[in-house]
């Protein structure tokens, strides 16, 4: 299924794309897995609010340049 998702946080998307590349996976595979994990959480369906209420989380220390490093490996930039 091809889907366009609008209004994604750019930093979060780049971090997800970088993690997918490091794992040798596509962004689609990684996003599918993330959605499956989210839906499997107990009580996830009981939460109120919207996706717009979600805030990105920081990566652990030492990963500040992760997306830049992945771009360098993948694209030679």
pLDDT digits (tens, 9 = 90+) for 40-76: 877 766 667 787 877 887 777 877 788 888 888 888 8
Written as six digits, the tokens of 9 are 């946080």
Domain that holds residue 15: 10-75
Confirm whether 5 is domain-assigned: no
Count up the domains in the chain and report the number. Answer: 1
Of 64 and 27, the one with more pLDDT: 27
| CA pair distance 65, 26, nearest whole angstrom | 20
State if pTM tops 0.75.
no
The whole-number pLDDT of residue 28 equals: 93
Confirm whether 4 is domain-assigned: no
The whole-number pLDDT of residue 69 equals: 86
Instruction: Check pLDDT > 80 for residue 35.
Output: yes
* Residue of 22, 23, 51, 48 whose CA lies nearest to 35: 51
Confirm whether 3 is domain-assigned: no
Q: Residue 16's CB: how many other CB atoms inside 10 A?
A: 18
* Residue of 32, 25, 24 whose CA lies nearest to 5: 32
Confirm whether 17 is domain-assigned: yes
The whole-number pLDDT of residue 47 equals: 63
């Amino acid at each position: 299924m091809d889907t366009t998702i609008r209004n994604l946080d750019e930093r979060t998307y780049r971090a997800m794309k970088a993690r997918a590349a490091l794992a040798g996976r596509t962004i689609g595979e990684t996003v599918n897995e993330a959605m499956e994990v989210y839906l499997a959480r107990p009580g996830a369906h009981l939460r109120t609010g919207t996706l717009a209420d979600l805030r990105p989380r920081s990566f652990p220390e030492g990963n500040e340049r992760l997306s830049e490093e992945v771009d360098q490996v993948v694209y030679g930039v």
